[in-house]
Structure 1
Amino acid sequence: MSKKLSCFGPATLVTAAFIGPGTVITASLAGANYGYALLWALVFSVFATMVLQEMAARLGIVTGRGLGENLRELVTLPLLRWPLLLLVVAAIVIGNSAYQGGNISGAVLGAEALFADVYLIKYWQTVSGLNLWALILGALAAAVLWFGQYKWIERCLIVLVLLMSLAFIGTMLLTKPDLPALLTGALLPQIPAGALLTVVALIGTTVVPYSLFLHAASAAQKWPKGSIDTTKALSASRTDIAVAIPLGGLISLAIVSTAAAAFFGSGQQLENVTQLAQGLTPLFGSAATWCLAIGLMAAGLSSAITAPLAAAYALSGLVGKPLNLTQPLFRLTWLVIIVVGVLLSSLGIRPLSVIWFAQVANGILLPLICLCLLLAMNHKVLGQYKNNRWQNLLGVLVLLVSLLLSGRSLALAFSLL
């Protein structure tokens, strides 16, 4: 089994991170409202993610440190260093606490669709007013992180990503997509009237700053410096990226396609994922609904594991602590985020002010982290593994896109005021 899965590694954690409830909702709305027309945005987002994640993984492998630790060394001026470090903590640690409620809530929606008639669950929720599924799924995420070493966590997430793949791609096949329209949408860029924000949102749910911290640190742990030939480790990392990131893109494509087949042109308005799941049964049978529910539960649970893990990697690296899964600060960070997420989901609370704050911080952070990553990839500490001209050109292109995403994130956040 391990040999068959040898092509999967730290990049699978990135896929598990960006295929969460937010991506499912965004992709569903894109398909329902615009059909297959915006698939090219997913193709671009996969390309941009591969460019940035390759750099993050290379930085982790060559230096043996995570992105947080490298930022501490790269940014030495106090006037720049402390604001940047505080921004990272705000966007990734505090922000992920707010988004964790959404991750667990998404997994809960999938679980409720699959096990709607379980008497004990219904009785508990009636008596206590708390959502038992949120407690169960939060406890499961905590158990994976508490008892698992890196290899165990990686394997759990590989299983979840493969489960998502089978579920969402299976749903797409059951809905019989329009293949010519699918190929046209993927290969020919177009922006229908009113679709610009959706285009930016599709890219923004894939290209996220915390995945860079997650990938650099996990690559440093997967291939420790000095324990393996650097060139071989980089080759294995690039194979991992070439398999896992496009697989994530295929999952997103499947979600867009499913929503397009079920809702586009039907005159119905899609408002949430539950409505999509319910709408599949009369059109394509209960199997499609079950597949979507399984995929949604796996997507929520995978993000509920990776978001706290990324925050713990980022904070530990920034304060100079070792990236050790059993280190007290590391455990405390992800545990607090999971507990906050469980409470938000279980009580049905949507912390608008915290989410607004996280959107603003992430909007500022994404281009800053892209710029810092590009500077780090041209630092002399990387020696022969520095960026070449083409890698820098691609990185600058993604940096420009990150500025667009930043503008969208800030505009959205301030529109909530």
Structure 2
Amino acid sequence: MGRVPENRRQAVVKLLWISIWMLYLGAPLDDLVHGGHGPVVVVPASLGLAAFVVAYLALVFLRTNTEEQERWVHWVLCALAVLALATSATLGEPWLVLFVYVSVVCGAVLPPTWSRWSIPAATGALALVGSFVDTAGDLYPALLIPCLLGGFAMVGIRHLVQTMRALREARETVAQLAATEERLRLARDLHDLLGHSLSLITLKSELAGRMLPGRPEDAAQQVADIEKVSRQALVDVREAVSGYRRPTLATELAGARIALAAAGIAAELPVELPPTAGARADGSAPPSLAPDTEGALAWALREAITNVIRHSGATRCVITLVERSDGGCAGTFVLTVTDNGHGSADGPGSPGNGLSGLEERLLLAGGSLSTGPAAPTGFTLSASVPRRTPAVTVPPLG
């Protein structure tokens, strides 16, 4: 809601929702077929009704999400009002329903300062024309309330659409500010980690240069100190980067719950998590999840939730985390994220950069990634990682 259709499917769905209300045009259509009018009346009346429907659908479909309307919109509204007035006055009471559509479209596309008087004006025109053409007096009173309330209901929907758009823009701004703050924090931490070490390395390098060639023993000591400081700086950087890049399942599940709720997607998440390497189940049992295993699953969950929110158009998301045992021994953890959306946005065989990077992470952790359509609709991502990540041997440099 509040979004411009991004693809053909969304446009068709929106058009179908708008077209449902065309069922109320049954009275004018019945009058054209069984009203006993001659071809001289039926042909122009049919063309006028078709033009009315096309103009109505165009305004509601294209201009509801627009705050500032162009001049042609007002001319089309005037044309709709003239068509409703002319057909009702000449063809009788079955055509009075067109005033309801005029009121609704006024509420849908006009700002409140304009719609607050145009909707009562359309209702007043309905009452005025109805007092002449509805001799029985049983039809137009039933249309007055829908005409008035339908128009003002569209005013409320238009305001809701604008509010949702503003909230979405504000959320994107907050996300950008958070990313900027995170970059600044990383810059500060790296400066604190490396500033002292690099300054010390520079100082000792200058001392070693001054001691050569007259004091080679002292220069060698300075070079040894430089090596020690640089190794410690490398360890600090690795620990800092590891802390930034290794998420936890608990944190990602909490973030997924908040993100899905903000996107209006109902979420089913696991209640309990396996104990991690930092928290044993009891005093003697070995830990269930190694840090690398938990980190790989957390990255998979983050990527899957991001895709669900951005691309799926889903209303429900189910997250499961189970352990498959291999012969009674330590098995494999399988994280599955399933939504009921319209499937992969990239299409089969063309994974995006996020899924490609995730598959590389899982391969490094000894796991695998599988994706595919869900039944009856939707998309499923399944990431499997062994309980104990296999050790990766890195050959020494040089």
Structure with higher Rg: it is: 2
Question: If the length of structure 2 is used for normalisation, what is the TM-score?
Answer: 0.21
Bigger RCO (CA 8 Å, 6+ sep): 1
Question: Normalized per residue, which structure has more helix?
Answer: 1
Question: Normalized per residue, which structure has more strand?
Answer: 2
